[in-house]
Amino acid sequence: MKKLALHWKILIGMALGVLFGVLLSFIEGGDTFIGNYIKPFGTIFINLLKLIAVPLILASLVKGVSDLKDISKLSEMGGRTIVTYLITTLTAVTIGLILVNVIQPGKSISVDTRQELVEAYSSDTKAKQEAAAKQQEAGPLQALIDVVPSNIFLAASNNRNMLQVIFFALFFGIGMILLPVKKVKPVKKFFDSFNDIILKLIDLIMFAAPYGVFALLAALVVEAPSLELFQALALYAITLLLGLAIMILVYMLIVRLFTKKKISFFIKGIAPAQLLAFSTSSSAATLPVTMECVEENLGVDKEVASFVLPIGATINMDGTSVYQGVAAVFIAQAFGLDLSLSAQLGIVFTATLASIGTAAVPSAGIVMLVIVLAQAGIPEAGLALIFAIDRPLDMCRTIVNVTGDAAVSMIVGKSIGKLKD
Protein backbone atom coordinates (compact mmCIF):
# COMPACT_ATOMS: atom_id res chain seq x y z
CA MET A 1 0.00 0.00 0.00
CA LYS A 2 2.91 2.34 0.75
CA LYS A 3 4.24 2.04 -2.80
CA LEU A 4 0.93 3.01 -4.38
CA ALA A 5 0.51 6.58 -5.63
CA LEU A 6 -1.94 8.78 -3.72
CA HIS A 7 -4.59 8.78 -6.45
CA TRP A 8 -4.61 4.96 -6.52
CA LYS A 9 -5.06 4.83 -2.75
CA ILE A 10 -7.94 7.29 -3.00
CA LEU A 11 -9.49 5.28 -5.84
CA ILE A 12 -9.29 2.07 -3.81
CA GLY A 13 -10.81 3.87 -0.83
CA MET A 14 -13.69 5.10 -3.00
CA ALA A 15 -14.35 1.62 -4.46
CA LEU A 16 -14.27 -0.06 -1.05
CA GLY A 17 -16.52 2.65 0.38
CA VAL A 18 -19.15 2.08 -2.31
CA LEU A 19 -18.94 -1.71 -1.86
CA PHE A 20 -19.18 -1.42 1.92
CA GLY A 21 -22.17 0.92 1.64
CA VAL A 22 -23.98 -1.42 -0.77
CA LEU A 23 -23.38 -4.46 1.44
CA LEU A 24 -24.59 -2.77 4.62
CA SER A 25 -27.66 -1.31 2.88
CA PHE A 26 -28.98 -4.91 2.70
CA ILE A 27 -28.40 -5.50 6.41
CA GLU A 28 -30.92 -4.33 8.96
CA GLY A 29 -29.46 -1.39 10.87
CA GLY A 30 -26.56 -1.14 8.42
CA ASP A 31 -27.39 2.44 7.43
CA THR A 32 -27.54 3.42 11.10
CA PHE A 33 -24.16 1.80 11.74
CA ILE A 34 -22.56 3.70 8.85
CA GLY A 35 -24.21 6.96 9.95
CA ASN A 36 -23.01 6.58 13.55
CA TYR A 37 -19.59 4.96 13.18
CA ILE A 38 -18.31 5.44 9.60
CA LYS A 39 -19.64 8.78 8.32
CA PRO A 40 -18.08 10.78 11.21
CA PHE A 41 -14.58 9.90 9.93
CA GLY A 42 -15.50 11.33 6.53
CA THR A 43 -16.80 14.46 8.23
CA ILE A 44 -13.57 14.78 10.24
CA PHE A 45 -11.52 14.46 7.05
CA ILE A 46 -13.51 17.23 5.31
CA ASN A 47 -13.25 19.40 8.43
CA LEU A 48 -9.45 19.01 8.39
CA LEU A 49 -9.34 20.11 4.75
CA LYS A 50 -11.62 23.06 5.46
CA LEU A 51 -9.51 23.91 8.50
CA ILE A 52 -6.46 24.35 6.30
CA ALA A 53 -8.21 26.22 3.44
CA VAL A 54 -8.16 29.78 4.83
CA PRO A 55 -4.59 29.59 6.24
CA LEU A 56 -3.43 28.12 2.93
CA ILE A 57 -5.00 30.88 0.84
CA LEU A 58 -3.71 33.61 3.17
CA ALA A 59 -0.17 32.21 3.30
CA SER A 60 0.16 31.24 -0.36
CA LEU A 61 -1.33 34.46 -1.78
CA VAL A 62 0.65 36.81 0.48
CA LYS A 63 3.82 34.85 -0.30
CA GLY A 64 2.97 34.62 -4.01
CA VAL A 65 2.24 38.34 -4.42
CA SER A 66 5.20 39.48 -2.31
CA ASP A 67 7.52 37.22 -4.34
CA LEU A 68 6.59 39.14 -7.51
CA LYS A 69 8.63 42.15 -6.31
CA ASP A 70 6.99 44.25 -9.05
CA ILE A 71 3.40 45.55 -9.17
CA SER A 72 3.39 45.28 -12.99
CA LYS A 73 3.85 41.49 -12.75
CA LEU A 74 0.78 41.26 -10.50
CA SER A 75 -1.26 43.27 -12.99
CA GLU A 76 -0.11 41.10 -15.89
CA MET A 77 -0.79 37.79 -14.16
CA GLY A 78 -4.08 38.95 -12.65
CA GLY A 79 -5.45 40.22 -15.96
CA ARG A 80 -4.62 37.02 -17.83
CA THR A 81 -6.06 34.89 -15.03
CA ILE A 82 -9.42 36.70 -14.83
CA VAL A 83 -9.90 36.89 -18.62
CA THR A 84 -9.12 33.19 -19.06
CA TYR A 85 -11.50 32.22 -16.25
CA LEU A 86 -14.32 34.30 -17.77
CA ILE A 87 -13.82 32.73 -21.21
CA THR A 88 -13.95 29.17 -19.84
CA THR A 89 -17.04 30.01 -17.73
CA LEU A 90 -18.94 31.41 -20.72
CA THR A 91 -17.94 28.33 -22.73
CA ALA A 92 -19.23 26.05 -19.97
CA VAL A 93 -22.67 27.72 -19.76
CA THR A 94 -23.03 27.66 -23.55
CA ILE A 95 -22.17 23.95 -23.74
CA GLY A 96 -24.78 23.18 -21.09
CA LEU A 97 -27.52 25.14 -22.88
CA ILE A 98 -26.79 23.56 -26.27
CA LEU A 99 -26.93 20.03 -24.87
CA VAL A 100 -30.11 20.50 -22.84
CA ASN A 101 -31.89 22.01 -25.84
CA VAL A 102 -30.83 19.15 -28.11
CA ILE A 103 -31.48 16.25 -25.70
CA GLN A 104 -34.49 17.83 -23.92
CA PRO A 105 -34.34 15.66 -20.77
CA GLY A 106 -37.22 17.50 -19.07
CA LYS A 107 -39.73 16.18 -21.56
CA SER A 108 -39.19 12.65 -20.25
CA ILE A 109 -40.32 13.33 -16.66
CA SER A 110 -43.85 12.20 -15.85
CA VAL A 111 -46.33 14.26 -13.85
CA ASP A 112 -46.50 11.61 -11.11
CA THR A 113 -42.73 11.51 -10.65
CA ARG A 114 -42.54 15.30 -10.58
CA GLN A 115 -45.23 15.52 -7.91
CA GLU A 116 -43.51 12.86 -5.80
CA LEU A 117 -40.23 14.77 -5.89
CA VAL A 118 -41.85 18.12 -5.12
CA GLU A 119 -43.55 16.67 -2.04
CA ALA A 120 -40.44 14.83 -0.86
CA TYR A 121 -38.07 17.79 -1.14
CA SER A 122 -40.35 20.79 -0.60
CA SER A 123 -38.74 21.68 2.76
CA ASP A 124 -35.23 21.66 1.26
CA THR A 125 -36.46 23.73 -1.66
CA LYS A 126 -37.90 26.35 0.68
CA ALA A 127 -34.60 26.65 2.55
CA LYS A 128 -32.68 27.23 -0.67
CA GLN A 129 -35.28 29.76 -1.86
CA GLU A 130 -34.94 31.74 1.38
CA ALA A 131 -31.14 31.75 1.09
CA ALA A 132 -31.35 33.00 -2.49
CA ALA A 133 -34.00 35.60 -1.63
CA LYS A 134 -31.56 37.30 0.74
CA GLN A 135 -29.08 37.68 -2.10
CA GLN A 136 -31.76 39.00 -4.48
CA GLU A 137 -32.87 41.66 -1.99
CA ALA A 138 -29.41 43.20 -2.11
CA GLY A 139 -28.49 45.91 -4.62
CA PRO A 140 -26.83 45.26 -8.00
CA LEU A 141 -23.36 46.04 -6.60
CA GLN A 142 -23.77 43.97 -3.44
CA ALA A 143 -21.41 41.31 -4.84
CA LEU A 144 -18.71 44.00 -5.10
CA ILE A 145 -19.37 45.16 -1.54
CA ASP A 146 -19.14 41.58 -0.27
CA VAL A 147 -15.61 41.25 -1.64
CA VAL A 148 -14.23 43.86 0.77
CA PRO A 149 -14.27 42.68 4.41
CA SER A 150 -14.92 45.03 7.31
CA ASN A 151 -13.10 42.66 9.67
CA ILE A 152 -10.51 40.21 8.40
CA PHE A 153 -10.83 37.99 11.47
CA LEU A 154 -14.58 37.59 10.93
CA ALA A 155 -13.97 36.94 7.21
CA ALA A 156 -11.39 34.26 8.01
CA SER A 157 -13.77 32.57 10.46
CA ASN A 158 -16.05 31.32 7.65
CA ASN A 159 -14.93 29.46 4.51
CA ARG A 160 -17.82 31.02 2.60
CA ASN A 161 -16.01 34.37 2.83
CA MET A 162 -13.09 33.13 0.75
CA LEU A 163 -13.24 36.12 -1.63
CA GLN A 164 -12.77 38.47 1.32
CA VAL A 165 -9.72 36.54 2.50
CA ILE A 166 -8.31 36.66 -1.05
CA PHE A 167 -8.93 40.42 -1.21
CA PHE A 168 -7.09 40.98 2.09
CA ALA A 169 -4.20 38.71 1.05
CA LEU A 170 -3.78 40.52 -2.28
CA PHE A 171 -4.09 43.93 -0.60
CA PHE A 172 -1.56 42.93 2.06
CA GLY A 173 0.83 41.52 -0.56
CA ILE A 174 0.61 44.69 -2.66
CA GLY A 175 1.49 46.73 0.42
CA MET A 176 4.59 44.57 0.90
CA ILE A 177 5.65 45.08 -2.73
CA LEU A 178 5.35 48.86 -2.46
CA LEU A 179 7.57 49.09 0.64
CA PRO A 180 11.39 48.81 0.69
CA VAL A 181 12.65 45.23 0.94
CA LYS A 182 14.38 45.85 4.30
CA LYS A 183 11.15 46.96 5.99
CA VAL A 184 9.12 43.92 4.94
CA LYS A 185 11.86 41.31 5.28
CA PRO A 186 10.74 40.03 8.75
CA VAL A 187 7.12 39.73 7.57
CA LYS A 188 8.26 38.03 4.37
CA LYS A 189 10.22 35.46 6.35
CA PHE A 190 7.22 34.84 8.59
CA PHE A 191 4.86 34.13 5.67
CA ASP A 192 7.48 31.96 3.94
CA SER A 193 7.76 29.83 7.09
CA PHE A 194 4.00 29.92 7.65
CA ASN A 195 3.43 28.65 4.11
CA ASP A 196 5.93 25.80 4.60
CA ILE A 197 4.18 24.75 7.81
CA ILE A 198 0.76 24.74 6.11
CA LEU A 199 2.13 22.59 3.26
CA LYS A 200 3.52 20.10 5.78
CA LEU A 201 0.14 19.94 7.53
CA ILE A 202 -1.43 19.19 4.15
CA ASP A 203 0.93 16.24 3.73
CA LEU A 204 -0.14 14.92 7.14
CA ILE A 205 -3.84 15.32 6.32
CA MET A 206 -3.43 13.52 2.99
CA PHE A 207 -2.23 10.38 4.75
CA ALA A 208 -5.85 10.01 5.85
CA ALA A 209 -7.37 10.72 2.42
CA PRO A 210 -8.08 7.09 1.39
CA TYR A 211 -9.86 6.43 4.69
CA GLY A 212 -11.74 9.72 4.53
CA VAL A 213 -13.12 9.06 1.05
CA PHE A 214 -14.03 5.50 2.10
CA ALA A 215 -16.23 6.91 4.86
CA LEU A 216 -17.73 9.60 2.61
CA LEU A 217 -18.68 7.19 -0.19
CA ALA A 218 -20.08 4.56 2.17
CA ALA A 219 -22.34 7.19 3.76
CA LEU A 220 -23.44 8.52 0.37
CA VAL A 221 -24.54 5.06 -0.80
CA VAL A 222 -26.78 4.34 2.20
CA GLU A 223 -28.25 7.86 2.20
CA ALA A 224 -29.06 7.94 -1.54
CA PRO A 225 -32.72 8.36 -2.63
CA SER A 226 -34.73 5.48 -4.09
CA LEU A 227 -33.77 3.88 -7.40
CA GLU A 228 -37.02 5.05 -9.06
CA LEU A 229 -36.05 8.68 -8.60
CA PHE A 230 -32.65 8.10 -10.18
CA GLN A 231 -34.29 6.38 -13.14
CA ALA A 232 -36.78 9.23 -13.60
CA LEU A 233 -33.97 11.76 -13.77
CA ALA A 234 -31.46 9.59 -15.66
CA LEU A 235 -31.65 11.60 -18.87
CA TYR A 236 -31.05 14.86 -17.01
CA ALA A 237 -28.02 13.30 -15.31
CA ILE A 238 -26.69 11.97 -18.62
CA THR A 239 -27.09 15.40 -20.22
CA LEU A 240 -25.21 17.11 -17.41
CA LEU A 241 -22.47 14.47 -17.31
CA LEU A 242 -22.04 14.76 -21.07
CA GLY A 243 -21.65 18.53 -20.69
CA LEU A 244 -19.07 18.08 -17.94
CA ALA A 245 -17.17 15.53 -20.04
CA ILE A 246 -17.10 17.93 -22.99
CA MET A 247 -15.76 20.65 -20.71
CA ILE A 248 -12.95 18.31 -19.60
CA LEU A 249 -12.14 17.77 -23.29
CA VAL A 250 -12.05 21.54 -23.79
CA TYR A 251 -9.46 21.82 -21.00
CA MET A 252 -7.38 19.04 -22.57
CA LEU A 253 -7.43 20.79 -25.94
CA ILE A 254 -6.50 24.24 -24.63
CA VAL A 255 -3.71 22.78 -22.49
CA ARG A 256 -2.36 20.94 -25.53
CA LEU A 257 -2.79 24.01 -27.76
CA PHE A 258 -1.30 26.65 -25.46
CA THR A 259 1.30 24.70 -23.47
CA LYS A 260 2.24 21.93 -25.97
CA LYS A 261 2.07 19.42 -23.11
CA LYS A 262 0.63 15.96 -23.76
CA ILE A 263 -2.96 15.37 -22.67
CA SER A 264 -1.88 12.24 -20.77
CA PHE A 265 0.65 14.35 -18.84
CA PHE A 266 -2.07 16.78 -17.79
CA ILE A 267 -4.62 14.15 -16.76
CA LYS A 268 -2.09 12.02 -14.87
CA GLY A 269 -0.77 15.07 -13.04
CA ILE A 270 -4.15 16.35 -11.86
CA ALA A 271 -5.71 12.91 -11.14
CA PRO A 272 -5.22 12.95 -7.32
CA ALA A 273 -6.98 16.33 -7.06
CA GLN A 274 -9.80 15.15 -9.36
CA LEU A 275 -10.46 12.08 -7.23
CA LEU A 276 -10.43 14.09 -4.02
CA ALA A 277 -12.73 16.68 -5.61
CA PHE A 278 -15.16 13.88 -6.46
CA SER A 279 -15.07 12.62 -2.88
CA THR A 280 -15.47 15.96 -1.10
CA SER A 281 -17.59 17.99 -3.59
CA SER A 282 -15.60 21.03 -2.53
CA SER A 283 -13.10 23.02 -4.60
CA ALA A 284 -11.93 24.78 -1.42
CA ALA A 285 -11.36 21.54 0.46
CA THR A 286 -9.47 20.13 -2.54
CA LEU A 287 -7.33 23.27 -2.98
CA PRO A 288 -4.33 22.00 -0.96
CA VAL A 289 -4.05 18.89 -3.14
CA THR A 290 -4.71 20.87 -6.34
CA MET A 291 -1.80 23.19 -5.52
CA GLU A 292 0.49 20.26 -4.81
CA CYS A 293 -0.46 18.52 -8.09
CA VAL A 294 -0.10 21.67 -10.20
CA GLU A 295 3.31 22.56 -8.78
CA GLU A 296 4.91 19.11 -8.46
CA ASN A 297 3.21 17.13 -11.25
CA LEU A 298 2.37 19.75 -13.89
CA GLY A 299 5.45 21.93 -13.47
CA VAL A 300 3.74 25.25 -12.81
CA ASP A 301 5.90 27.70 -10.85
CA LYS A 302 4.83 28.17 -7.22
CA GLU A 303 4.54 31.92 -7.85
CA VAL A 304 1.81 31.28 -10.44
CA ALA A 305 0.06 28.41 -8.64
CA SER A 306 -0.20 30.28 -5.35
CA PHE A 307 -1.86 33.19 -7.15
CA VAL A 308 -4.07 31.53 -9.80
CA LEU A 309 -5.44 28.52 -7.89
CA PRO A 310 -6.87 30.24 -4.78
CA ILE A 311 -8.67 32.72 -7.05
CA GLY A 312 -9.86 29.88 -9.28
CA ALA A 313 -11.23 27.91 -6.32
CA THR A 314 -13.44 30.91 -5.59
CA ILE A 315 -14.53 32.35 -8.95
CA ASN A 316 -13.86 29.64 -11.55
CA MET A 317 -16.83 27.27 -11.25
CA ASP A 318 -17.14 25.88 -14.78
CA GLY A 319 -18.76 22.65 -13.62
CA THR A 320 -21.34 24.74 -11.76
CA SER A 321 -21.85 26.86 -14.90
CA VAL A 322 -22.64 23.80 -17.04
CA TYR A 323 -24.99 22.60 -14.30
CA GLN A 324 -26.89 25.88 -14.02
CA GLY A 325 -27.53 26.03 -17.76
CA VAL A 326 -28.68 22.41 -17.95
CA ALA A 327 -30.71 22.47 -14.74
CA ALA A 328 -32.56 25.72 -15.52
CA VAL A 329 -33.75 24.58 -18.95
CA PHE A 330 -34.45 21.06 -17.68
CA ILE A 331 -36.78 22.42 -15.00
CA ALA A 332 -38.48 24.65 -17.57
CA GLN A 333 -38.99 21.65 -19.86
CA ALA A 334 -40.38 19.58 -16.99
CA PHE A 335 -42.98 22.30 -16.34
CA GLY A 336 -43.82 22.56 -20.05
CA LEU A 337 -42.23 25.98 -20.54
CA ASP A 338 -40.54 27.00 -23.79
CA LEU A 339 -37.74 29.47 -23.13
CA SER A 340 -37.05 32.15 -25.73
CA LEU A 341 -33.57 32.87 -27.08
CA SER A 342 -33.39 36.08 -25.02
CA ALA A 343 -34.33 34.16 -21.87
CA GLN A 344 -31.58 31.64 -22.51
CA LEU A 345 -29.04 34.39 -23.20
CA GLY A 346 -30.09 35.83 -19.85
CA ILE A 347 -29.29 32.44 -18.31
CA VAL A 348 -25.79 32.61 -19.84
CA PHE A 349 -25.15 36.03 -18.30
CA THR A 350 -26.71 35.26 -14.92
CA ALA A 351 -25.11 31.82 -14.61
CA THR A 352 -21.68 33.32 -15.39
CA LEU A 353 -22.04 35.87 -12.60
CA ALA A 354 -23.62 33.32 -10.27
CA SER A 355 -20.77 30.86 -10.75
CA ILE A 356 -18.29 33.59 -9.78
CA GLY A 357 -20.23 34.24 -6.58
CA THR A 358 -20.71 30.56 -5.72
CA ALA A 359 -18.95 29.40 -2.57
CA ALA A 360 -16.44 26.60 -3.12
CA VAL A 361 -18.32 24.24 -0.80
CA PRO A 362 -20.61 21.24 -1.42
CA SER A 363 -23.98 22.00 -3.12
CA ALA A 364 -23.52 25.79 -2.98
CA GLY A 365 -24.38 26.00 -6.69
CA ILE A 366 -27.99 25.04 -6.07
CA VAL A 367 -28.54 28.21 -4.01
CA MET A 368 -27.31 30.34 -6.89
CA LEU A 369 -29.51 28.33 -9.26
CA VAL A 370 -32.57 29.90 -7.62
CA ILE A 371 -31.43 33.31 -8.84
CA VAL A 372 -30.87 31.93 -12.35
CA LEU A 373 -34.37 30.44 -12.34
CA ALA A 374 -35.94 33.67 -11.12
CA GLN A 375 -34.17 35.68 -13.82
CA ALA A 376 -35.53 33.36 -16.53
CA GLY A 377 -39.05 33.24 -15.07
CA ILE A 378 -38.84 29.50 -14.30
CA PRO A 379 -40.81 28.14 -11.30
CA GLU A 380 -38.41 27.92 -8.35
CA ALA A 381 -40.39 24.97 -6.97
CA GLY A 382 -38.77 22.99 -9.79
CA LEU A 383 -35.64 22.82 -7.65
CA ALA A 384 -37.26 19.83 -5.97
CA LEU A 385 -36.95 17.95 -9.26
CA ILE A 386 -33.17 17.84 -9.08
CA PHE A 387 -32.56 17.48 -5.34
CA ALA A 388 -32.76 13.69 -5.58
CA ILE A 389 -29.54 13.34 -7.57
CA ASP A 390 -27.84 16.67 -6.93
CA ARG A 391 -25.24 15.33 -4.52
CA PRO A 392 -23.57 12.74 -6.83
CA LEU A 393 -23.74 15.19 -9.73
CA ASP A 394 -22.21 17.88 -7.51
CA MET A 395 -19.27 15.53 -6.99
CA CYS A 396 -18.80 15.35 -10.77
CA ARG A 397 -19.16 19.14 -11.16
CA THR A 398 -16.36 19.66 -8.66
CA ILE A 399 -14.00 17.54 -10.78
CA VAL A 400 -14.57 20.00 -13.65
CA ASN A 401 -14.05 23.01 -11.36
CA VAL A 402 -10.71 21.68 -10.12
CA THR A 403 -9.55 20.58 -13.59
CA GLY A 404 -10.35 24.04 -14.95
CA ASP A 405 -8.29 25.70 -12.24
CA ALA A 406 -5.32 23.49 -13.08
CA ALA A 407 -5.66 24.09 -16.83
CA VAL A 408 -5.78 27.88 -16.42
CA SER A 409 -2.77 27.84 -14.09
CA MET A 410 -0.78 26.01 -16.80
CA ILE A 411 -1.92 28.48 -19.48
CA VAL A 412 -1.06 31.52 -17.35
CA GLY A 413 2.25 29.94 -16.33
CA LYS A 414 3.16 29.28 -19.96
CA SER A 415 2.18 32.81 -21.03
CA ILE A 416 4.62 34.41 -18.58
CA GLY A 417 7.38 31.81 -18.84
CA LYS A 418 6.68 30.12 -15.51
CA LEU A 419 5.94 26.57 -16.75
CA LYS A 420 8.65 23.91 -16.80
CA ASP A 421 9.40 22.43 -20.21
For residue 97, the one-letter residue type is L
288 inside domain? yes
Let me know how long the chain is: 421
Q: Give the CATH number, domain containing residue 387.
A: 1.10.3860.10
CA 407 distance to own-chain centroid:
14
pLDDT-based confidence at residue 212 (cuts at 50, 70, 90)? confident
Q: What is the pLDDT of residue 352?
A: 66
Give me the number of domains the chain comprises. Answer: 1
197 inside domain? yes
| pTM greater than 0.75 (yes/no) | no
CA 326 distance to own-chain centroid:
17
What does the pLDDT look like over 22-81, one tens digit per residue? Answer: 899 889 898 899 989 998 998 888 788 778 777 877 887 787 777 666 666 667 777 888
What does the pLDDT look like over 304-346, one tens digit per residue? Answer: 888 888 888 767 788 888 888 888 888 887 776 777 777 777 7
52 inside domain? yes
Of the candidates 250, 268, 218, which has an alpha carbon nearest to the alpha carbon of residue 90?
250
CA angle 298, 301, 307 (to 5 degrees): 105
Burial class (CB in 10 A: 0-12, 13-18, 19+), 149: middle
267 inside domain? yes
383 inside domain? yes
331 inside domain? yes
Of the candidates 329, 411, 320, 409, which has an alpha carbon nearest to the alpha carbon of residue 375?
329
Q: What is the DSSP letter of 3?
A: T
Q: Which residues 6+ apart lie within 8 Å of 364 measured at CB?
A: 160, 358
Residue-number span of the structural domain to which 409 is assigned? 6-415
421 inside domain? no
- Upper half-sphere CA count for residue 177 (Cβ side, 13 Å): 21
pLDDT-based confidence at residue 129 (cuts at 50, 70, 90)? low
420 inside domain? no
Q: What is the pLDDT of residue 136?
A: 57
Q: What is the pLDDT of residue 72?
A: 66
Helix, strand, coil percentages, rounded to 5, for the chain: 85, 0, 15
- Upper half-sphere CA count for residue 94 (Cβ side, 13 Å): 7
Q: Report the alpha-carbon distance of residue 244 to residue 322 in Å, rounded.
A: 7
pLDDT-based confidence at residue 187 (cuts at 50, 70, 90)? very high
